[in-house]
Amino acid sequence: MKLYMSVAEHLRERIEKGVFSGGTRLPSVRTLSNDHGVSLTTVQQAYRQLESDGLIESKPQSGYYVKTIQTLPHPAEAKDSVDLSTAHSEFQESIAFEYYMEHPGLLFGTGYPCINAPSMTPLFTALHRQTKYYVKFPQTRRDPAGLLVLREHISRLMLDASCQSQAEDVIITNGCKEALFIALKACCEPGDLVAVESPCYFGILELFKIAGVKPVEIPADPVHGLSLEALTVALETLPIKVAYLSPNCNNPQGYTMSDVRKRHLLNMADKYDITLIEDDIYSELSYLLPRPRPIKSWDSQNRVILCSSFSKTLTPDIKTGWIYATCQQNKLLNLKLMTSGMTALTPQLAIAQFIEQGHYAKHIRKMRRLYRQHLTIAQENVLAHFPEGTHFTLPQGGYHLWINLPGELRVSELCNQLELKKIKISPGTLFSPRKRFSSSIRLSYSSLHLCDAHGMIASLAKSVEQCLIEAKTPAFGL
């Protein structure tokens, strides 16, 4: 890491921890230069970086100040209650939404990362080169677990997250969804109960239905994450075998659980003899450094199966994910082969080269900065345009903003209005098997630089406000 970046990250961490609060004057360039033993130019570069990230602002003849962003109040924390009903609703709304998302428009609603960043160019070059090479020299012998050199790179990436992994612990899959499905099949039989954070990634709900398991919703709040108290109630009253959760840079709420709560959760898994399926797909996009530790990093009893992918850090089009597990390797590998056979080799070769040449680490740093800038734009515009009483909590990573509105929406009406404007969001009802969260939406801000963010968010807010008014208006008929 360049010296000015190190200084910038040190300041960023202190700002995000509240050491320097909004409106606070930062140390002068000369003071910081003396404190860190670096040149004045290095400090100036660090301040310019933080300014471009939207964290600080300069005032002529006065210096640098932490930028004041007025965040809306936190929504009420989730109550420590659990829905003990295991009835599984139909997914017609989800299917309709997937169809709706395929139509052209501004993608505030999808989980797609920004794929047109210049830092992606070496990956596309590597894909082209490897495709030409593979066509000319096809390889007949392949490891069912995936390309060894890529598994070695992934195990080193996991070391950065404090996981003592080996290449033998990693199985390459066709994306994170397949990894999650294989983990479910390895741990569950049809009819089994699975605890799931609520709200949760809606893709996992589709996998539950395919696997024939029944979700038990456990409330999660945007500050602390999964309610351990509610999970305890569920584990003591229901025969739950597995818990699915995404504790780092959660989708959709953006929280990162504290290490204390993660370790407590792992102790609960030991006590109640359950397996944790940990979705770690967004953790490399954390705004806080060092990267947050997954629960798997403390797992000494083989309670955790970690699933992840390059689809959020690079592009979902390469469909390359992985399972990191320290037990059940043969079972997981057999399920992988039964599910889809071998994973495509060309993307694995290209990604391995991308990592090996140092492009991946640079790309991740750039994406963190870009998404943090986009978050600042998104929150400023939501504050400016959304109805009074709207709440959100700032995410700690990724590129989703979970917005709680001051009333319930008619989801279909909102989607119809937004489709005419070529705007798309994810309605909150998608993130619950019981269609809860009708007063919430998820706004994805990965590609705000491609549009007039101010105009589009203002237009979105206008439709939201209109739908809220209509939802309060009683319908009269003859």
pLDDT digits (tens, 9 = 90+) for 102-154: 444 555 766 778 777 778 887 878 776 776 555 544 554 578 899 999 999 99
DSSP alpha helix (H) spans, 103-224: 121-136, 148-160, 175-187, 202-211
In a domain, 78, yes or no: no
Q: Check residue 79 and give its pLDDT.
A: 45
Q: What is the pLDDT of residues 230-263, one digit of tens each?
A: 999 999 999 999 999 999 999 999 999 999 999 9
Q: What is the pLDDT of residues 278-330, one digit of tens each?
A: 999 999 999 988 899 999 999 999 999 999 999 999 988 889 999 999 999 99
Place of tokens 């020299």: 137
438 CB neighbour count, 10 Å cutoff = 17
Tell whether 393 and 295 lie within a shared domain. Answer: no
202 — phi, psi (to 5°)? -70, -20
Q: Check residue 109 and give its pLDDT.
A: 66
Q: Determine the Cα–Cα distance for residues 179 and 201; give it in Å rounded to an integer.
A: 14
* Top-confidence residue, 116 or 398: 398
Given a cut of 60, whether residue 41 has pLDDT beyond it is yes
Tell whether 195 and 297 lie within a shared domain. Answer: yes
Across the range 418-444, mean pLDDT stands at 89
Tell whether 227 and 307 lie within a shared domain. Answer: yes
Whole-structure pTM over 0.85, yes or no? no
Tell whether 378 and 231 lie within a shared domain. Answer: no
Is the CA virtual torsion 176, 182, 183, 188 positive or negative?
positive
Burial class (CB in 10 A: 0-12, 13-18, 19+), 340: middle
Q: What is the pLDDT of residues 371-394, one digit of tens each?
A: 999 999 999 999 999 999 999 989
Domain that holds residue 418: 91-115+362-472
Tell whether 11 and 143 lie within a shared domain. Answer: no
Domain end, chosen from 334, 360, 386, is at 360
Q: Determine the Cα–Cα distance for residues 223 and 292; give it in Å rounded to an integer.
A: 15
DSSP 8-class letter at 94: H
Contacts of residue 137, Cβ cutoff 8 Å, sequence gap at least 6: none
Q: Which CATH number characterizes residue 11's domain?
A: 1.10.10.10
Name the nearest CA neighbour of 333 among 179, 194, 190, 167.
179
Q: Which CATH number characterizes residue 278's domain?
A: 3.40.640.10
Q: Which CATH number characterizes residue 393's domain?
A: 3.90.1150.10
Place of tokens 């994306």: 175
> Token pair for residue 434?
């019981």
DSSP 8-class letter at 32: H
Across the range 194-209, mean pLDDT stands at 95
